[in-house]
Chains A and B, each alone.
Chain A
Amino acid sequence: MDSTLIPAFMKTIEISDLSRSFGKTKAVQNVSFDVEKGRIFGLLGPNGAGKTTTIRMINYIMPPDEGSILINGYPVSPMTQKMIGYMPEERGLYKKMKVGEQLMYLAQLKGMKANDAREKIKYWLKRFNAEDWHSKVVGELSKGMSQKIQFIATIVHDPDIYIFDEPFSGLDPINSELLKQIIIELRKDGKTILFSTHRMEQVEQMCDDICLFNNGKVVLTGNLRKLKKEFGKNTLLLEFEGNDSFLDQLENVRINNRSTNFAEIRILDGLQPQEILKLAMDYSEIHKFELVEPSLNEIFISTVGEDNIKNSGVLL
């Protein structure tokens, strides 16, 4: 698909009223959101919130019960599959196949001609310092090496849209960094990236736009900066040295991130930050006192309510 044919203002992915059930479980309910061209879009939520099901429907792997998905204006089909590079959460390669053959197979399945694919594979293997892996069997590669091959398999056909489902889970630190670079580089080239994660801090660093999922529903969607601004500067970052027992005396606050000499405190109704400072000074020496926008984690909790979070242990 030639990307120049697609108008720049167009929404790359448009999802409206998407629903999908498995038996009695409503995995996805009336989900709507748009992904704009050339942006990094984060799909967030705890495990089991419906992210993977939504992603599978976008990839035309699973049909929705209701609702529509448009990719560059086209309803999902084998044709739109070729516009997308998809790295699933459950990912892997054929262990007994050679690296070159495997990449060739996957590229051809995405519609590439053998000659173009050969060139691209060569380019990417070189890019990742992996030229001499071409005739190696995947089973012989280390985990980190095969993760690199997995990246190449995802991007080799040079699609417009990239979808990564929990891309950083299971990656070693070097490959995590490599993938971040790839994502940022792709964005520079005007590609659209959608990735899902249950780890909020990754989104804060990379995403332009987000969509928060909980229990199969969208609870919040939009531009990350705007959303944060809307929530206001109501979070207190406190660094101190000494007795931290004053933290336990605070009422009408939520302490999200606490360690021996640090606390991230969300101030709820009524309380003044100065009161906290006063109390804290009675107990310990204050090194830092800063009012900031809430973290995404905090936004998520305050939106859905603490009790409604599925698998909250994983999330927080």
Chain B
Amino acid sequence: MRWLWVDRFTEFVSGSHAKGIKNVSLDEEVVDNYCPGFPFLPPTLIIEGMAQLGGILVAEHFLFDKRVVLAKVGRAKFYAPALNGTTLNYEVHLDAVQENGGTVTSTSRCDGEIQAEIELMFAFLEDGYLVDGPLFEPDDLKGMLRIMKFFSVAVDANGNRFPTYEKLNSPSAPRSQHAG
């Protein structure tokens, strides 16, 4: 099972914000099983979706050179359950970055109405801490970003579309001319 809690990016501006959508489907086991008889997407997985958008926003700011992990959920307010059949529109803004972490503020909207507001803090794992090397294999992360349509919408720090990142290419892989 893949742990992808955003269906696709719809906007990404380096150092500023990321937007994405999450469709809540009854076919998803968690939606159906979390609260039997009253299906909705568990709030923790909305936080996870925000963390995926936000983590990529923070990681991209450092050209995917940092080992970014979700460190703290500062504040999370949920105004309505995310019912099956709805589309959640996530929007994450980069709030602050430091040499060893970053913070984002994010919202989830459903049919234009605010559904959740969440503040997250990310930390950068120091070299050798917990595990050695990158948290993702470079090609895996690139593949994940590609299927989430990141490269179709992203604008990098220089204002360029279809950005490429050295860190997303495995050292032995031939250099791609396009998309990542």
A and B held together in a complex: no
Interface positions of B (Cβ within 8 A of A):
none
